[in-house]
């Protein structure tokens, strides 16, 4: 309202003066004016209502009623406001904010909404308490429930006297039984009474230490071994399995279930205790399970497949004129001739006590003669795949009754390009004897199935592919870590220049004394050159590589075995499987271009529980293996030369993308 408008309702005592300009009113005057306006408004309203309803203002019933209702409504509202102070307060934004802060820091005072879970909905609730249960158990055993009476420090497990518990239980059983008999008016028969008495005696004799957790598995009989003991046993020998229905490993030779003749042969061989791979895989082989065995070099893998193979042959009818033309009962395939001959020796060691004939078929010898020997009848053939397939294709021999196959150093055979030959030989065997692909299918106990064994210290993907096609439900046995060198070998790596290698090699050979060493070189030509240089310098050196005739190779190896020569300079031909006792030092004059080859090469020392030393000369040309070698050295707690550790190639696996998180199959070693 403007000042001119207000002049219409001018306060009493303020005279209007039109000639004068509008005057400024003080606050008090304005308040007075507003009050007069309010009174005038109310008066007008009152008169208007009076005129409308024509009733005197003092005793107007409607108005009185209305006023009463308004008053009631107001008082109700006040009461509600008192009841809901929060709601009222929240209408004020400042208080609302204060309330929110309060809730944030001190929690809400509002009652929480009860969430009813679906399980709670289904839970039945009884409307009586446990204490209201007045029924009494007729069984005295449950009337006075047994209480644990701990006897700590008295030699009882968990402080519980289990013998006392058992005695109390049998006493209660007797009392109850007698009451039943009494009620039924019958007497216990002699048998029933004797049975009760026996139970009482047993409870009396009960051994409180029946749970012999204090006993180590070595002190237990086979039948006492628990699941926990087997777990500890497997951990003790670093044995791990993959596959279903795996039998327990054998703890010693007597528990092995090998035939008595074979056990005698094992004893004669001087094998006092089975090695971990033998403990784990012989029971599997005896069950004719297909096995993939991965174990360190020199850990006795040969006997691990030879013994169950011979055991299997003893169960078959001896070879006769009728079936000797059907070929051998078992075949072992290996990558190199030397290895074939070595396995032949190991097999003959056990087989000749059983009258089992073993023939090796390798290149470099007369194929006709070898074919003739097979046709004359032999239970076991040990062969390199190329020569064996040649024999089969030329019909010198057949595989009609061969149901036991061993692929030793399978990865090396694939690596050397023998994959098609291996497959060719496998396909020449009767496929009708393959186990069903579905592992749940029942095996016919009377039928002989093909058993396939695959062994190596390393197992790359190509071998796994072969395994998938030719092995059925294989049990994978791993001893220690796949691809890891044995801890018995001390590994040294030196960063050198090519020109320094010969000088350094001679220094190491000078320290040999009467011990023996194998020097590995990557090419045949360099093998000959280095051997010639060493020979000139007066060392007793012999060589072994694929370029030599079979006869020369055999003479060299035999000369080294008999210590006529104390240094063998060799190519990778000698890298796998060759078992020459007491090789003290393996020197990698050249670093191989794959870590698997490194593992096998250095594995020519530190065999059958003995220790050994491996020295490797590394140059800046070997960056391809820097990463893997560094990881291997770290893993085996060996010294990593600073130049190698610092090198870029040691930090990243060749072909990998920097910054990519490790894949599932990547092995990451920590320092
Ligand atoms: N239970 C045993 N007790 C004692 N010596 C054993 C036992 N088993 C095997 N050996 C010996 O251990 C040596 C290594 O065995 P073997 O050649 O079978 O090892 P490997 O695991 O096949 O090695 P590689 O991986 O290098 O081929 C052999 O001289 C063998 O006679």
Q: Are 361 and 374 in contact (CB under 8 A)?
A: yes
Ligand 1 probe mutation, 302, 459, 599, 604, most atoms within 8 A of CB: 302
Tokens of 339: 């290895």
Contact 263, 459 (CB under 8 A): no
Please identify, by atom number, the ligand 1 atom nearest to the C-alpha of residue 302: 18
SS3 640: coil
Query: For residue 342, which atom of ligand 1 is closest to its CA?
Result: 17
Question: What is the C-alpha separation between 83 and 87, in angstroms, rounded?
Answer: 9
Task: Supply the pLDDT for residue 211.
Answer: 47
Amino acid 62: pLDDT: 45
**C-alpha to C-alpha distance for 339 and 342, rounded to whole angstroms:** 5
| Residue 272 CA to ligand 1 centre (angstroms) | 13
- pLDDT averaged over 10-residue windows placed end to end, the chain, 671 residues: 44 50 78 88 82 54 50 55 51 79 77 71 63 61 59 57 79 88 85 86 67 66 82 84 86 90 91 91 89 83 92 89 86 89 90 90 84 87 92 89 90 83 88 71 72 77 76 84 73 90 90 89 90 90 86 87 90 81 90 87 83 90 88 87 86 65 51 35
Closest by CA to 292, choosing from 484, 468, 415, 487, is: 468
- Find the 339 Cα to ligand 1 centroid distance in Å: 13
Tens digits of per-residue pLDDT, 376-425? 889 999 999 999 999 999 888 888 899 899 998 888 888 788 888 988 99
Nearest residue CA, atom 13 of ligand 1? 608
Q: Is residue 617 within 8 Å of residue 583, measured between CB atoms? A: no
What would the pLDDT profile of 515-530 be if each residue is shown by its tens digit? 899 999 998 889 999 9
Longest dimension (CA), the chain: 156
pTM check: above 0.80: no
The helix-helix angle for 385-393 and 419-427 (nearest 10°) equals 40
C-alpha dihedral, 55 to 60 to 65 to 71, nearest 10°: 110
CA distance from start to end of the chain: 89
For ligand 1, residues with CB inside 6 Å are 271, 274-275, 278, 295, 297-303, 457, 577, 579, 581, 603, 607-608
pLDDT at residue number 184? 85
Strand ranges in 59-101 using DSSP code E only, listed in sequence order: none
Closest CA to 404 of 336, 310, 319, 321: 310
Strand partners, 242: 476
Compute and round to an integer the Cα radius of gyration of the chain: 48
Coil, strand or helix at 12: coil
Q: Using CA atoms, how far apart are residues 74 and 390, in angstroms rounded to an integer?
A: 114
What does the pLDDT read at residue 616? 93
Using the mean position of ligand 1's atoms as its centre, give its distance from the Cα of residue 455 in Å. Answer: 13
Specify the pLDDT at position 669.
42
Phi/psi of residue 477, nearest 5 degrees: -110, 125
The SS3 assignment for 422 reads: helix
DSSP code per residue over 408-427: ETHHHHHHTT-HHHHHHHHH
């Amino acid at each position: 309202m403007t000042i001119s408008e207000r002049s219409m309702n001018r306060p009493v005592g303020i005279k209007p003066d039109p000639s004068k300009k509008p005057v400024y009113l003080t606050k008090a005057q304005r308040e007075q004016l507003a009050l007069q306006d309010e009174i005038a408004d109310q008066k007008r309203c009152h008169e208007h209502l009076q005129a409308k309803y024509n009733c005197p203002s003092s005793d107007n019933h409607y108005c009185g009623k209305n006023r009463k209702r308004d008053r009631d409504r107001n008082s109700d509202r006040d009461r509600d406001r008192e009841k809901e102070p929060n709601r009222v307060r929240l209408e004020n934004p400042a208080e609302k904010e204060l309330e929110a802060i309060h809730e944030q820091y001190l929690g809400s005072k509002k009652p929480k909404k009860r969430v009813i879970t679906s399980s709670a909905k289904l839970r039945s609730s009884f409307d009586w308490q446990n204490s209201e249960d007045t029924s009494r158990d007729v069984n005295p055993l449950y009337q006075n429930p047994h209480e644990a009476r701990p006897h700590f420090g008295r030699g009882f497990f968990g402080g519980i006297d289990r013998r006392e518990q058992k005695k109390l239980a049998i006493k209660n059983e007797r009392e109850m039984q007698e009451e039943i008999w009494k009620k039924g008016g019958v007497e216990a028969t002699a048998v029933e009474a004797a049975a009760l008495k026996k139970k009482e005696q047993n409870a009396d004799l009960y051994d409180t230490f029946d749970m012999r957790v204090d006993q180590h598995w070595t002190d237990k009989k086979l039948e006492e071994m628990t699941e926990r003991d087997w777990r500890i046993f497997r951990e003790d020998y670093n044995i791990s399995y993959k596959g279903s229905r795996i039998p327990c490993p054998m703890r010693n030779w007597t528990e092995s279930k090998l035939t008595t003749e074979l056990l005698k042969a094992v004893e004669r061989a001087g094998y006092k205790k089975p090695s971990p791979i033998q403990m784990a895989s012989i029971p599997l082989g005896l069950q004719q399970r297909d096995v993939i065995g991965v174990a360190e070099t020199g850990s006795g893998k040969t006997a691990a497949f030879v013994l169950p193979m011979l055991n299997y042959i003893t169960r078959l009818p001896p070879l006769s004129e009728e079936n000797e033309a059907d070929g051998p009962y078992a075949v072992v395939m290996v990558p190199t001739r030397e290895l074939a001959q070595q396995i032949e020796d190991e097999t003959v060691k056990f087989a000749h006590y059983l009258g089992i004939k073993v023939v090796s078929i390798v290149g470099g010898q007369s194929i006709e003669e070898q074919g003739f020997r097979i046709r004359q009848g032999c239970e076991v053939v040990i062969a390199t795949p190329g020569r064996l397939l040649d024999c089969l294709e030329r019909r010198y021999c057949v595989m009609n009754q061969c149901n036991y196959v061993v692929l030793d150093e399978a990865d090396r055979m694939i690596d050397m390009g023998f994959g098609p030959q291996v497959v060719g030989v496998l396909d020449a065997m009767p496929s009708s004897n393959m186990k069903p692909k579905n592992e749940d299918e029942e095996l016919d106990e009377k039928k002989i199935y093909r058993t396939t064994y695959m062994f190596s210290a390393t197992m790359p993907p190509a071998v796994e592919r072969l395994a998938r096609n030719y092995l059925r439900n294989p049990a994978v046995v791993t001893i220690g870590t796949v691809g890891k060198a044995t801890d018995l070998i001390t590994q040294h790596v030196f960063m050198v220049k090519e020109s320094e290698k010969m000088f350094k090699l001679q220094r190491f050979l000078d320290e040999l004394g009467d011990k023996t060493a194998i020097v590995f070189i990557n090419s045949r030509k360099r093998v000959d050159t280095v051997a010639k240089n060493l020979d000139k310098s007066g060392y007793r050196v012999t060589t072994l590589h694929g370029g030599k005739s079979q006869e020369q190779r055999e003479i060299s190896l035999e000369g080294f075995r008999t210590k006529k020569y104390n240094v063998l300079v060799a190519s990778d031909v000698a890298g796998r499987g060759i078992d020459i006792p007491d090789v003290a030092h393996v020197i990698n004059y050249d670093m191989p271009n794959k870590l698997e080859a490194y593992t096998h090469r250095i594995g020519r020392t530190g065999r059958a529980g003995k220790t050994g030393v491996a020295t490797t000369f590394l140059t800046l040309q070997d960056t391809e293996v820097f990463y893997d070698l560094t990881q291997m050295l770290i893993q085996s707690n060996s010294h990593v030369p600073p130049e190698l550790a610092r090198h870029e190639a040691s930090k990243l696996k060749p072909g990998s993308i920097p910054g990519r998180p490790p894949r599932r199959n990547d092995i990451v070693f920590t320092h």
